[in-house]
């Protein structure tokens, strides 16, 4: 019998990347500065984590202009949405097991 913790994706599970995906999942696309400010990150730190998520195929990054101002938009890919959903499912499973275990006095092992 395996534990749901093995279902956690190392790419998604890292705190900042999970936060990025959580914010991006709430909208069609999110501005870089909004992500930076919402997650209290530096430009460089956010850029690095976005690069990891983009290389994994979880986000798409689009650069353009709004008027004369450069903008960077981040959106979740279908693969990224599935990875986020799987992460949430595994976390819920872990929490459920923990909560059910608190009502029992069983030992494991």
Domain ranges across the chain: 4-98
> Which range among 2-6, 48-52, 103-107 has the greatest average pLDDT?
48-52
4 pLDDT band (50/70/90 cuts)?
Answer: confident
pLDDT digits (tens, 9 = 90+) for 32-82: 999 999 999 999 999 999 999 999 999 999 999 988 899 999 999 999 999
Q: Which residue has the higher pLDDT, 105 or 96?
A: 96
Alpha carbons 64 and 107: distance in angstroms, whole number: 57
| Edge-to-edge strand list for the sheet holding 59-66 | 30-31, 69-76, 59-66
Please state which of the four CATH numbers 3.40.50.2300, 3.30.70.520, 3.40.50.300, 1.10.10.10 is assigned to the domain occupying 4-98: 1.10.10.10
Q: What is the pLDDT of residue 109?
A: 52
Q: What is the pLDDT of residue 66?
A: 87
Q: 106 vs 1, 80, 95, 96, 99, CA distance in Å?
A: 17, 38, 17, 16, 13
Nearest Cα to Cα of residue 56 among 81, 36, 38 = 81
Contacts 24+ apart (CB under 8 A), 24-28: 24/59, 24/74, 24/75, 24/76, 24/80, 25/76, 25/81, 25/84, 28/75
**Token pair of 18 as six digits:** 């999970």
């Amino acid at each position: 019998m395996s534990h749901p913790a093995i279902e956690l994706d190392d790419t998604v599970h890292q705190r900042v990347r999970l936060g990025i995906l959580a914010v991006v999942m709430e909208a069609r696309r999110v501005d870089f500065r909004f992500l930076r400010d919402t997650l209290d990150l530096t430009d460089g730190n956010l850029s690095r984590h976005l690069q990891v998520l983009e290389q994994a195929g979880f986000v798409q990054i689009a650069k353009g202009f709004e008027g004369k101002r450069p903008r960077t938009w981040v959106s979740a890919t279908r693969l990224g949405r599935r990875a986020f959903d799987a992460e949430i499912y595994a976390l819920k499973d872990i929490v459920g097991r923990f909560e059910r275990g608190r009502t029992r006095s069983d030992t494991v092992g």
